[in-house]
Structure 1
Amino acid sequence: MIDYEVYVDRLGGYITAHPGRVIALFFVATLVFGAGLGNISTDAGTSQFTDSSPAQEALDDVNREFSPAFETSSGSTQLIQQDSNVLSKPAMLDMLRLQERIMDRPSLRATSASSVASTVAQTLDPSATTLEEQIAVLESSSPAEVRAAAKQATANPNVASLLSNDFNRESVKASSTIGVVSHEVPGISSSAGTSGTSPMTDIQVEIQTMTSVAESDITVFGSGIISSELGNVIADSLLLVVPAAVLLIFGFLVIAYRDPIDLLLGVISLGLAIIWTFGFMGLADIPFSQMLIAVPPLLLAVGIDFGLHAVNRYREERVKDVAPVPSMRTTVKQLSVAFFIVTGTTVLGFLANVTSDLGPIQDFGLVAAVGILFTFLVFGVFLPAAKLYVDQLRQKYNVPEFASAPLGSEGGLLARVLSVGVFIGRRAPRAFLVLVLVTTVVAGSYGTGVDTSFSQEDFLPPEEQADYLQQLPEPFKPGVYTVTKDLNYLEDNFETTQGDSVTIYIEGQLREDSTLEMIHRNGEDPPETFITEDRRAESTSIVTVIQSYAAQDPEFAALVARNDANGNGVPDDNLDMIYDELLSSPVSGQASSYITEDYRKTRIVYTVEGDAEQDAIVADGQEVADRLRMSGVATGNTVVFKAVSDTIFMSAIQSLVVALVATAVFLVFIYQLLEGQWTLGVVNLVPIVVTLALLAGSMRYFGIPLNALTATILAIAIGLGIDYSAHVVHRFADEYNEGSDLYEALHLTVGGTGGALTGSMLTTTTGLGVLAIAITPVLGQFGIVTALSIFYSYLTALVVTPPALVVWERLTQRETTTAATTSP
């Protein structure tokens, strides 16, 4: 045990002797950090999570191997047309005219356009190769001729696949169809994730403005629209959540402080903590992502708690008619140690996330930890100095105080309610702790079944926004988001168009005669999640390129036939010659997308059901890869997302263990160092373990998965939960060591500290719970679970901690008595 009071007295002495100097130093520091605010960039979407993933690196290798060098990247725009009958003459003319306008605009960099309408026009007149000619053909044809041509064209399954599931070939009728426009745009990434900016964004947003001329309903969809909405949803969420949080927090702070000047000081302190934190982000070049939207509410949670404790403890002294300077020295002496314990454990809780393999979670842990350190400095040093300085000015100029009674003061209704834990501690502490233990085990066991999730949809706005959001005035009213609605529509109405894919990356000697037969046979008897056609998996590979080119070029078809022993259209001999001919043909670009120049690497892309579970798709993809005689690895967007989902789960468990162990060691060490009672650190942990079990069980019960953001909640619950229990335990230790008996010390603790904890809990659960109205689902879920963690932490700190302290006192007193009795 060390005499820490010497250092605390020095700090309190400096703050009370030079409050103006302290204030000036903090505002200078604010100017320094404020300079970093202009350097903050944004990073949205799933790519931030997949960039460092081994699965993503494997997919990048595939894309690099099979993308021709120095070739401009291509992107595509889907035109989703809905009409009473998209195969009618007017509807098809709408589609062709829109595609023609897109092709005619240079800024859209369009290279080709295809649609059912285009195929129908060429069925009517095979020589109509341009969109202008196809429009002219349809305009000059009668409805009956158009209907007959449409019936003939849709006999081709590839054409019919562009029509919705309700397509009826006999009546030649369908409610929706998809047209595709291809673009050549440099800089398009082929990563699994989608970032907040994309070269396709401006193109597809511009195309959106062109659809209003069509009589039918045509929606623009593609990676650019997804990227645009991912970026916009951050701004809209902040604009919606921050004012709502500020309004609710301000209302509770008015009630808690009950003095406008104290309220102003608290708000200024919160502002400084946030400016310092975001300024640090800018100076450290850490981009602002969806995950970091949660940092300001977290800082508000801890800052509000510190502020209320500082002001409340100061008021406890002032109501005893103690002068401002000694009152503030007592406040600093007692709270600086409690704040240090809370800060240390909270920082450890957040830093535990740095052990994650995912970059955004690492950034979140680092920024939150640094923010908590800043909050400690602001509320542990600046606020006491500012409060004392203002009170001295009040006395000098006779400015009245509006309210000075501390929350939870002796005899008040709140103090009596908060004493329930003390009452339990008097009557049946052991029995209650046994009940708590059973509840913890049951809730924790149930919580182990919580789901994990990672998908692009986690970051996209919901299909339908709540009505009240659309009633908000500008600028708080969120924008119109269509991506999720369009994704769901495509998934529900089209069989294969929205199917995801699994890529099998193959390495081996592809010159062996049986290689192509092996690739061809691998599609037989496909797993359930693979889309099938004629009992074969729907796929594209070097084999399909060979078959497609053979259908176009008689000379190449003859070469294939001469080397096809079993007559199934797949060459068995002289594969070197087949590859050489293919790579020197007009389809060489397509061929190089499936085989490398050294003929040692290839890929097969299998289409899978869009609504299939990630686990099933990945398992089926690996099963198909394992069938191959050569080395085969399953990859693709779904495989990457599944890998990230698994990493999220492991990160949650890993950060939980690290945070729990680090916190336990810190508490045991610090209580032994400061109080000479390491066992108080164990008592401090009891309510945290209960909180974690209740939180995990609640997440499973409410169907909230461990996703990219909620995966941090277990470590955060430790950090924030310690905030509450540490205040109770440390205040109890102070009161108990100053001569109060056990129950008197507990009553003083829950009456004084409990009042500040109540104000903090109400304010921060409301401020964080408001994230539930955020447009992004992942943020809403995070707000709910964080608010739950704070409520559980508050409840266990005031209900579980007092009985635990009673049992602790009896055990330690018994050990002391036994030691005294047995000593010679």
Structure 2
Amino acid sequence: MNYQRLIDWVDDRITESPGKVILAFLLVTAVFFTGLGSVESESGQQQFIEDLSSFEAFEDIQRNFNESFSETDLSTTILVDSQNALSKQGLLRTLRGQKRLEEYDPLIVISSDSPAETVARELDPDASTVSEMILAVESATEGEIDSAVRSVDAVGGGLGDVSDDFNPEAASATAAEMSITHEGSEEPNNREEKINRVLSTVDGKFRVLGDAPDTNTTSLLIVMPAALFFITLFLIVAYRDLIDLLIGLLAIVITLIWTFGFLGLAGIPFSVLIVAVPPLLIAVGIDFGIHSVNRYREETVKGKGIVESMRITTDQLLVAFFIVTGTSTIGFLSNLVSAFPPVRDFGLAAAVGISFTFLIFGIFLPSMKVYADRSRESLPIPQMGNTPLGSDESPLGKALSVGVVAADKAPVALLVVIVASTGAVGVYATGVDTGFGPDDFLPSAETPDYLQSLPESIRPPAEYDYVKNDNFRDRKFDQTDQVLMYVQGPMERNGALDQIDRVGKTPPPTFERDGGRVDDSSVIGIIEAVAETDPRFAELVERNDANGDGVPENNLDEVYDALYDTPSSGISNFVSEDRDSARIVYSVDTDASDTAVTEDAYALADRYRYDAQPTGFAVIFQEATDVIFTTVVESLVLTLIGAAIFLVAVYWVLKGKPALGIVNTFPIITTVVLIVATMRYFDISFNVINGSIVAITIGLGIDYSVHVVHRFADEFEEKDLIPALRRTVVGTGGALTGSMLTTVFGVGVIGLAVNPALAVFGILTASSVFYAYLTSLFLLPTVVVAWERLVGFR
């Protein structure tokens, strides 16, 4: 394949018409700049789990078993923190808070709901407004209120959301949940702040659960300046020339504009994972830039002119950059197999971004360099440094040669040690965990002190009220000990309730028991409770109970109508208004693992004649965990196989040496093993954020080994094995060292992000780059020498 003709054409454009190339890139930049304003932000855990069947069922339950509201309406949860939220005083505080919120015009409250409302309706079934409910509670005695609480709880557990310390006998609970629904189209600014202000006029403690904090923007504002500082610092050391530094920084800025402009034009939302894209592209761009300038300087110090030096540089590096771009793209695109939309978006954004990086640093930067150096010849522009990083006699060059010296003395023995060590570490790495939970997305309730010393414009809040209130909710309301079953089918059909009764007669191992059958809350429990207190309803049930088991089989529409006529029955919590679905709540063993609970939940769902989908926090998070594991494995396999095939094919076509492609993969395998083992050692689990770290490790790490192998292939055509390898490691190793330091610090600053998962992601990415650097310069020479002496490349 005569790829040289294409490279020569690019060389001509770069060296003969650099101004036209620069102008063309700037025009394209202007086009992508128009897309920056269209980038939308997306945060929170829901974006990762919205496609899971269990979460879809959870959303259906939320819609079908609550008062209906339009898609634009908003719901706000408010936690009532009290010594006893179910006492007369506690109920009145809640109801008065509801009344004040309904009277606050900007909210346009459509409906509100709370346990206090349920108890008030039990005291006075005719109370239809909050004001009437307040009168019902005010006119009742403490004993009447306690009796009403116990009565409501007895009817299918229809009291509502109260804390886990609820005591039916004492009719007490230290917390309760209130929810309000209001028109989203009329949502006021600072909704959470305004609700807090309204509730502050009521005697009592309320905690408003507003929107989760946007840690994406906050993290980006913290990370980018820090990354820019370290990047600029190390680029100064690497370039040692103001003009070259400015060219490198300009190329980085254009890369980011192209990438984010593409996101806006393509409608890809800016999610928490996308925060990691800029540092990744900067890392690769820096690597390309340093290699370009360093290789160019290797030729100019020999006395060659601008055109000849740049042609030699681009002849070699355009091919290397293409290989790096190809393998990195394969690694990033492997994320498209993920079941999580943000991970797929991240993979696409990173793949497109790395392609832009190839064009900008492979063509635009060399054109700028030629243009600038020609301008130096005609203008009094000083050149501060023009020597390459690393030489045979420099301390860095001598340090980099260690791997070559060792490989020359005992390559086979060292290779055996490397393979055995990698295998042992790999076995250890297989013990890494996989997990998913809401805490993966939330910052700490209190941010670290060192972040509070930042300028006000980028300083995060000292405390996140949402996190504090969410932690309070987790302590008071344990929702992980329940499994919800969403059953879809005509619930008014004869015998529809029999299947709910039949399924519950044989509880799975992890499900709690009540008198030999499963402990559940369903419409059947409501029917039994109402029948005990209402003789007319009991007669209706008996008349339609063909087999006398207490569960009516016939005329279920009539039975449901009678239940709706009993306001405190709670029927709307278990049968949808259109009677096409039902909700059953099962109690499960709190000590059982999510895996066991989920397996039992799906086994129970299979017993239903109608379509049944288990959901609940345990099921959703376990399903997400299973998907993460599958994604990690699939991504690893696809990336390794795809990269290996690509490398073998490229080296076969370009150099006629396919074995170089196989050699190229050795450092990557070791790097992947090391990063996964590091995760296990520090007890870091794969989650939806860092689940792509394997693909990223391969995509970024292969960058280092490609530069070494491709440079070696060129040097090996003119020199013997060891001299060629030493020239490669010293020449390319200098640029790789500068690139590694810049990348490790530039990407490592993601560890400052307030989002904990993103911070860990940044540290892992920086670690993977460091491992890739070590394996490429100190392990790869052993593999190259051993392969040449045992098999041969020629």
Q: TM-score, normalised by structure 1?
A: 0.85
Give SS of 1:210's match: helix
What amino acid is aligned across from residue 281 of structure 1 in structure 2? Answer: L
Q: Distance in 2 between matches of 1:406 and 1:489?
A: 58
Kindly state the Cα deviation for residue 599 of structure 1 after the two structures are TM-superposed.
7.4
1:541 matched to 2:522: yes
Q: Distance in 2 between matches of 1:90 and 1:52?
A: 44
Kindly state the Cα deviation for residue 360 of structure 1 after the two structures are TM-superposed.
2.4
Q: Distance in 1 between matches of 2:561 and 2:84?
A: 45
Q: Distance in 1 between matches of 2:115 and 2:560?
A: 33
Aligned to 1:456: 438
Kindly state the Cα deviation for residue 754 of structure 1 after the two structures are TM-superposed.
0.5
1:663 matched to 2:643: yes
Q: Identify if the C-alpha distance between structure 1 residues 596 and 100 changes in structure 2 by more than 3 Å, giving closer, same or farther.
A: closer
1:754 matched to 2:753: no
Q: Identify if the C-alpha distance between structure 1 residues 649 and 603 changes in structure 2 by more than 3 Å, giving closer, same or farther.
A: same
Aligned to 2:328: 346
Equivalent residue in structure 1 for 2:471, among 463, 467, 488 = 488
1:788 matched to 2:767: yes
Give SS of 1:800's match: helix
Kindly state the Cα deviation for residue 449 of structure 1 after the two structures are TM-superposed.
2.7
What are the Cα deviations for residues 669-712 of structure 1, in whole angstroms up to 9, with x where unaligned?
A: 11121112111111111111111111222222222222222222
1:382 matched to 2:364: yes
Q: Distance in 2 between matches of 1:352 and 1:104?
A: 53
Q: Identify if the C-alpha distance between structure 1 residues 628 and 94 changes in structure 2 by more than 3 Å, giving closer, same or farther.
A: closer
Q: Which region of structure 1 is more displaced relative to structure 2, 458-467 or 36-45?
A: 458-467
Kindly state the Cα deviation for residue 270 of structure 1 after the two structures are TM-superposed.
0.5
Aligned to 1:80: 79
Kindly state the Cα deviation for residue 584 of structure 1 after the two structures are TM-superposed.
8.0
1:124-523 matches, cutoff 5 A: 132=131, 164=163, 176-183=174-181, 185=183, 204=192, 206-214=194-202, 216-221=204-209, 225=210, 228-230=211-213, 232-479=214-461, 480-494=463-477, 500-505=482-487, 507=489, 511-513=493-495, 516-520=497-501, 522-523=503-504
Q: TM-score, normalised by structure 2?
A: 0.88
Kindly state the Cα deviation for residue 321 of structure 1 after the two structures are TM-superposed.
2.5
Does the CA contact (< 8 Å) of 1:102 and 1:110 recur in 2? no
Q: Distance in 2 between matches of 1:171 and 1:47?
A: 38
Aligned to 1:819: none
Does the CA contact (< 8 Å) of 2:64 and 2:577 recur in 1? no
Q: Identify if the C-alpha distance between structure 1 residues 102 and 405 changes in structure 2 by more than 3 Å, giving closer, same or farther.
A: same
Does the CA contact (< 8 Å) of 2:530 and 2:569 recur in 1? no
What amino acid is aligned across from residue 218 of structure 1 in structure 2? Answer: F
Percent identity, aligned pairs only? 43
Q: Distance in 1 between matches of 2:208 and 2:779?
A: 56
What are the Cα deviations for residues 425-461 of structure 1, in whole angstroms up to 9, with x where unaligned?
A: 1221111111111122122222223222233332222
Q: Which region of structure 1 is more displaced relative to structure 2, 528-537 or 28-37?
A: 528-537
Aligned to 1:774: 753
Kindly state the Cα deviation for residue 177 of structure 1 after the two structures are TM-superposed.
1.5
Q: Which region of structure 1 is more displaced relative to structure 2, 645-654 or 105-114?
A: 105-114
Q: Identify if the C-alpha distance between structure 1 residues 205 and 537 changes in structure 2 by more than 3 Å, giving closer, same or farther.
A: farther
Q: Identify if the C-alpha distance between structure 1 residues 369 and 122 changes in structure 2 by more than 3 Å, giving closer, same or farther.
A: closer
Q: Distance in 1 between matches of 2:149 and 2:29?
A: 68
Q: Identify if the C-alpha distance between structure 1 residues 775 and 11 changes in structure 2 by more than 3 Å, giving closer, same or farther.
A: same
Q: Identify if the C-alpha distance between structure 1 residues 805 and 167 changes in structure 2 by more than 3 Å, giving closer, same or farther.
A: same
Q: Distance in 2 between matches of 1:7 and 1:567?
A: 86
Q: Distance in 2 between matches of 1:76 and 1:642?
A: 26
Equivalent residue in structure 2 for 1:673, among 641, 644, 653 = 653
What are the Cα deviations for residues 328-360 of structure 1, in whole angstroms up to 9, with x where unaligned?
A: 222112211111111111111112222334332
Does the CA contact (< 8 Å) of 1:583 and 1:592 recur in 2? no
Does the CA contact (< 8 Å) of 2:36 and 2:261 recur in 1? yes
What amino acid is aligned across from residue 624 of structure 2 in structure 1? Answer: V
Equivalent residue in structure 1 for 2:721, among 735, 742, 751 = 742
Q: Identify if the C-alpha distance between structure 1 residues 114 and 713 changes in structure 2 by more than 3 Å, giving closer, same or farther.
A: closer
Aligned to 2:662: 682
Pairs aligned (count): 788
Q: Distance in 2 between matches of 1:207 and 1:429?
A: 71
Q: Distance in 1 between matches of 2:161 and 2:575?
A: 28
What amino acid is aligned across from residue 358 of structure 2 in structure 1? Answer: F
Give SS of 1:209's match: helix
RMSD: 3.8
**Where does the alignment leave 5 or more consecutive residues of structure 1 unmatched?**
188-197, 817-824
Q: Distance in 2 between matches of 1:674 and 1:295?
A: 31
Q: Distance in 2 between matches of 1:67 and 1:154?
A: 21
Kindly state the Cα deviation for residue 550 of structure 1 after the two structures are TM-superposed.
4.5
Kindly state the Cα deviation for residue 557 of structure 1 after the two structures are TM-superposed.
3.1
Q: Identify if the C-alpha distance between structure 1 residues 167 and 343 changes in structure 2 by more than 3 Å, giving closer, same or farther.
A: closer
What amino acid is aligned across from residue 100 of structure 1 in structure 2? Answer: K
Does the CA contact (< 8 Å) of 2:79 and 2:177 recur in 1? yes
Kindly state the Cα deviation for residue 216 of structure 1 after the two structures are TM-superposed.
4.4
Kindly state the Cα deviation for residue 604 of structure 1 after the two structures are TM-superposed.
2.2
Aligned to 1:555: 536
Give SS of 2:304's match: coil
Does the CA contact (< 8 Å) of 1:78 and 1:178 recur in 2? no
**Where does the alignment leave 5 or more consecutive residues of structure 2 unmatched?**
none
Give SS of 1:445's match: helix
Q: Distance in 1 between matches of 2:624 and 2:228?
A: 34
Does the CA contact (< 8 Å) of 1:684 and 1:725 recur in 2? yes
What amino acid is aligned across from residue 36 of structure 2 in structure 1? Answer: L
Give SS of 2:78's match: strand
Equivalent residue in structure 1 for 2:776, among 793, 797, 802 = 797
Kindly state the Cα deviation for residue 88 of structure 1 after the two structures are TM-superposed.
7.8
Q: Identify if the C-alpha distance between structure 1 residues 463 and 606 changes in structure 2 by more than 3 Å, giving closer, same or farther.
A: farther
Does the CA contact (< 8 Å) of 1:110 and 1:181 recur in 2? no
Does the CA contact (< 8 Å) of 2:80 and 2:176 recur in 1? yes
Kindly state the Cα deviation for residue 785 of structure 1 after the two structures are TM-superposed.
1.8
What are the Cα deviations for residues 308-343 of structure 1, in whole angstroms up to 9, with x where unaligned?
A: 101111121222232222222221122111111111
Q: Distance in 2 between matches of 1:594 and 1:173?
A: 24
Q: Which region of structure 1 is more displaced relative to structure 2, 70-79 or 380-389?
A: 70-79
Aligned to 1:11: 10
Q: Identify if the C-alpha distance between structure 1 residues 160 and 126 changes in structure 2 by more than 3 Å, giving closer, same or farther.
A: closer
Does the CA contact (< 8 Å) of 1:95 and 1:179 recur in 2? no
Does the CA contact (< 8 Å) of 1:506 and 1:603 recur in 2? no
Equivalent residue in structure 2 for 1:809, among 783, 788, 793 = 788
What amino acid is aligned across from residue 105 of structure 1 in structure 2? Answer: Y
Q: Distance in 2 between matches of 1:589 and 1:72?
A: 28
Does the CA contact (< 8 Å) of 1:501 and 1:606 recur in 2? yes
Kindly state the Cα deviation for residue 71 of structure 1 after the two structures are TM-superposed.
7.5
